[in-house]
Amino acid sequence: MSAINAALRPLFDLLLAPFRGMPAIVGVTLFSLIFGVVALWLVKLTSNPEKVDAAKRKVAAGLLEIRLFNDNLGIIFKAVGSILRHQAAYVGHLLVPFVLMVLLFLPLIAQLQFHWGYQGLQEGDSVLFKVVLQDDWQTRTGSDGADGVPRPSLELELPDGLSLASPPVWSPSEHEMAWQMRADAAGQHEVGVRLGDATHVKKIGVTDRVERLSPERLEAGFTNQLLFPAEPSLGADSAIEKIGLRYPERDVWFFFWRTHWIIVFLVLSILFALILRGPMGVTI
Cα gap 272→284, rounded to integer Å: 13
| Contacting another protein within 130-149 (CB under 8 A) | 130, 148-149
- Runs of H (alpha helix) within the chain: 2-16, 24-46, 49-68, 73-93, 95-116, 137-141, 222-227, 261-280
Q: Does 173 bind another protein (CB under 8 A)?
A: yes
Q: Does 272 bind another protein (CB under 8 A)?
A: no
Least distance (Å) between residue 122 CB and another protein: 12
Window of 9-17, 69-77, 111-119, 177-185 that interacts with another protein by CB under 8 A: 177-185
Cα gap 91→284, rounded to integer Å: 10
Q: Which DSSP letter does residue 178 get?
A: E
Window of 31-39, 47-55, 61-69, 126-134 that interacts with another protein by CB under 8 A: 126-134
Window of 87-95, 169-177, 182-190, 191-199 that interacts with another protein by CB under 8 A: 169-177
Least distance (Å) between residue 177 CB and another protein: 9
In degrees rounded to 5, what are phi and psi of residue 2?
Answer: -60, -40
Residues 147-166 vs another protein: string with x where CB under 8 A? -xx-x-------------xx
Cα gap 227→208, rounded to integer Å: 24
Cα gap 120→211, rounded to integer Å: 8
For another protein, the binding residues (CB under 8 A) are: 126, 128, 130, 148-149, 151, 165-174, 176, 178-180, 246
